[in-house]
Amino acid sequence: MKLKDKLYDYIVRKNANIRYEYERYVQEHIPEHYTHRSRHWKILGKLIWHYRVAKKTQPMMYWEKNGSSAHETEQAIPDQTHNIKKPDPKKTIEAANSATPVKGPYLRGAESTFFHRVAPYHFGKGLLQYEVISFDIFDTLLFRPFEHPADIFLLVGKRLAYPAIFTSYKKSRMEAEKEARSQLQTQYGTREVNIYEIYEQLERKSGIPAETGVQTEIQTEKDYLFANPYMQIVYNILRAHKKSIVLTSDMYLPGHIMAELVEKCGYHGYEKIYVSCDYRCNKGSGELYRRIIDDYPGKKIVHIGDNYAADIQGAQKAGFETRYYKNVNDVGRQFRAEWMSDLTGSAYKGLINAYLHNGMNQLPFFYEYGFVYGGIYILGFCQWIEEKAKREGIDKIIFLSREGDIYQKIYRKLYGDIESECIFWSQFASLKYMAEMQQEAFIDCVVRQKASGALNVKLSSILDSFSIQLSEDELKKYGLCHSSIVSGYNLEAIKKCIGSNWESICKGYRMERGCVIRKVQTLIGDAKRIAVVDVGWTGSGPLGFKAFVEKYVAKDCNIVCWMAGGAGSYGTAEYALPYYQDGTLDAYLFSPLHDRRNEQIHVTENAAVTNNAVFELFTQAQYPAFCGVGECGNYVFDIPEAENYEIISQIQKGILDFCMLYRETFSKDAYLCNISGHDAYRPFSVLAFHKHYFETHFQDIIYGYAFSGDREHQHIESIGERVKNYYLHIGGQK
Amino acid sequence: MVLYSVVTTYHLLEAIVHKLKYNKGCSGVLMLSRWLKAKYPWYTDMQSIFEKIIVFDAQYAYPDDITEKLDRYFVQLLGDSEVDLSQMEQIHVYGAEHAFGVFLFINKIENIYWEEGKGALSKKDAMLELFTKTNGPQKAEFQYKLHLYDGEASFVKKRYYNRTFQSKELDDENLCHFDLVQELQEMEEKERDAVIGLFYREDKIEAGRGDAVLLTEHFANLSIMSWDEQRLLYQYLTDYFLSRYRLLIKPHPDDVMYYEYVFTDSHVIRTCFPSELLPFIFEGQPEVVATSSSTGIYDFRTMYDKVLEFNFEFSHGKQFYNLNRYYVALSYADSYIKNGYELKLIGVNPAYIDNFQSFCKLCETPYQSICLEAKPPGEYGQGKSVWIVDRIADPHTNAFDICMLMEKLQTDDIIIFINTDGSYCFYTYPYKYLWKYLHVIEIDIRADRKPEESITFSGPSYTEDRKEQIYVFQKGEKMDRFHLEKELPNVGVTVSAQGYDGQAEKIKILEGMLEATEKRLLYYIKREKDLLSELGEKKA
Using the predicted structure, report yes or no on whether residue A449 has a pLDDT greater than 70. Answer: no
Residue A661 predicted with pLDDT over 60: yes
- Contact: A121, B451; criterion CB under 8 Å: no
Residues A313 and A393 in one domain: no
Residues A296 and A413 placed together within one structural domain of the fold = no
In 3D space, the residue among B3, B18, B4 whose CA is nearest the CA of residue B89 turns out to be: B3
pLDDT of residue B131: 84
Q: Cβ contact (<8 Å) for B457 and A355?
A: yes
Banded model confidence at residue A87, pLDDT cuts 50, 70, 90: very low
Instruction: Say what the pLDDT of residue A98 is.
Output: 38
B29: which DSSP letter? E
Neighbouring CB atoms inside 10 A of A296's CB total 17
Distance from CA of B267 to the nearest CA of A (A): 12
My answer on whether A312 and A379 are in the same domain is no
Of all residues in chain A, what percent carry a pLDDT higher than 90?
52
Q: Tell me what pLDDT residue A154 has.
A: 94
Which residues of chain B lie closer than 8 angstroms to A300, CB-CB? none
Residues B47, A71: Cα–Cα separation, whole Å: 92
Q: CA A469 to CA A312: how far, in whole Å?
A: 76
Q: Whole-number mean pLDDT of chain A?
A: 86
> B459 contacts in A (CB within 8 Å)?
229, 355, 360-361, 363
pTM reported for the whole predicted model: 0.82
**Are A544 and A396 in a shared domain?**
yes
CB atoms under 10 Å from CB of B182, counted, come to 14
Q: Final residue of a domain: which of A329, A364, A391?
A: A329
Q: How far is CA B53 from CA B6, B26, B44, B93, in A?
A: 11, 15, 7, 15
Q: Which of A46-50, A395-399, A436-440, A599-603 has the highest mean pLDDT?
A: A395-399
Read off the pLDDT of residues A680-722 as tens digits, 9 standing for 90 and up: 999 999 888 888 899 889 988 988 765 666 666 677 888 888 8
Do A98 and A124 belong to one domain? no
| A-B contacts at Cβ under 8 angstroms | 75
Confidence of residue A346 (pLDDT cuts 50, 70, 90): very high
Q: What is the rounded CA–CA span in Å between residue A171 and residue A162? A: 12
Buried b / exposed e along A422-457 (16+ C-beta atoms within 10 A): bbbbbbbbbbbbbbeebeebbbebbbbebbbbbbeb
Q: Report yes or no on A323 lying in a domain.
A: yes
B507 vs B25: CA distance, rounded Å: 79
Q: What is the mean pLDDT of the segment spanning A631-645?
A: 80
Choose the final residue of a domain: A58, A76, A102. Answer: A102
Report the 10 Å Cβ neighbour count for B159.
19
Residues A73 and A195 placed together within one structural domain of the fold: no
User: Could you tell me if B455 lies within 8 Å of chain A, comparing CB atoms?
Assistant: yes
* Residue-level pLDDT at A556: 86
Minimum distance, in Å, between the CA of residue B260 and any CA atom of chain A: 7
Query: Looking at residue A591, what DSSP letter applies?
Result: B
Min mean pLDDT across A239-253, A349-363, B205-219, B283-297 is at B283-297
Distance of alpha carbon A587 from alpha carbon A388, whole angstroms: 11
Q: Beta strands B414-417 and B466-474: pairing type?
A: antiparallel
In Å, the largest CA–CA distance within chain B is 87
Range of the domain at A88: 1-102
pLDDT digits (tens, 9 = 90+) for A288-326: 999 999 999 999 999 999 999 999 999 999 999 999 999
pLDDT at position B431, please?
83
pLDDT of residue A72: 28
> Is A255 within 8 Å of A275 (Cβ atoms)?
yes
Could you report the per-residue pLDDT of A513-559, keeping only the tens digit for each?
A: 888 888 899 889 899 999 999 998 888 889 989 999 998 888 788 99
Do β-strands B466-474 and B438-447 pair in parallel, antiparallel, or remain unpaired? antiparallel
Identify the domain boundary among A43, A72, A102.
Answer: A102
Domain CATH for A232: 3.40.50.1000
Alpha helix segments (H runs only) across A189-265: 195-206, 210-224, 229-240, 255-264
- Judged by CB atoms closer than 8 Å, whether chains meet at B456 and A663 is answered as no
Give the side-chain half-sphere CA count within 13 A for A723.
Answer: 23
Has residue A559 been placed in a domain?
yes
Are both A218 and A271 inside the same structural domain? yes
- If asked whether residues A411 and A524 sit together in one domain, one would say yes
A559 vs A550: CA distance, rounded Å: 8
**What averages of pLDDT result for each successive group of 10 residues across chain B (540 residues)?**
93 94 92 90 90 92 84 93 93 94 94 90 84 85 91 93 86 89 89 90 92 93 89 96 96 92 94 85 93 79 89 87 96 94 92 95 92 66 86 72 87 92 83 84 88 76 82 78 92 90 66 71 81 86
**Could you tell me which residue, B206 or A1, shows the higher pLDDT?**
B206
pLDDT at A94 over 80: no
Question: Residue A125 and residue B256: Cβ atoms within 8 Å?
Answer: yes
Whether A273 and A376 map to the same domain: the answer is: no
Give the pLDDT score at A375: 97
Residues A381 and A305 in one domain: no
Helix (H) or strand (E) holding A184: helix A169-188
Q: Distance between CA B372 and CA B363 in Å, rounded?
A: 23
A190 part of a folded domain: yes
| Residue A367 maps to a domain | no
Strands (DSSP E) found in B324-411:
342-346, 367-369, 385-389
In a domain, A456, yes or no: no
Lowest mean pLDDT among A225-234, A584-593, A607-616, B151-160: A607-616
Is residue A79's pLDDT more than 50?
no
- H/E segment holding residue B285: none
For residue A404, tell me if it sits in a domain: yes
pLDDT of residue A89: 41
State how beta strands B438-447 and B455-456 pair.
unpaired
- Could you read off the pLDDT of A168-219 as tens digits, one per residue? 899 999 999 999 999 999 999 999 999 999 999 999 988 899 999 999 999 9
Would you call B259 an interface residue with chain A, using a CB distance cutoff of 8 Å?
yes
- Does residue A15 fall inside a structural domain? yes
Chain B: nearest CA to A433, how far in angstroms?
A: 28
For residues A84 and A146, membership in a common domain is answered with no
Distance (Å) from the alpha carbon of A281 to chain B's nearest alpha carbon: 33
For residues A229 and A303, membership in a common domain is answered with yes
How far is it, in rounded angstroms, from Cα B226 to Cα A119?
9
Amino acid identity of residue A461, one-letter, is S
Residue A585: inside a domain, yes or no? yes
Nearest CB among B221, B261, B452 relative to A664 is that of B452
What residues of chain A lie within 8 A of the CB of B454, using their CB? 660
Is A660 within 8 Å of B452 when comparing Cβ atoms? yes
Number of domains in chain A: 3
**Alpha helix (H) ranges present in B247-322?**
259-262, 312-316
Residues of chain B neighbouring A241 (CB-CB closer than 8 A): 256, 270
Instruction: Give yes or no for a contact between A534 and A563, defined as CB atoms under 8 angstroms apart.
Output: yes
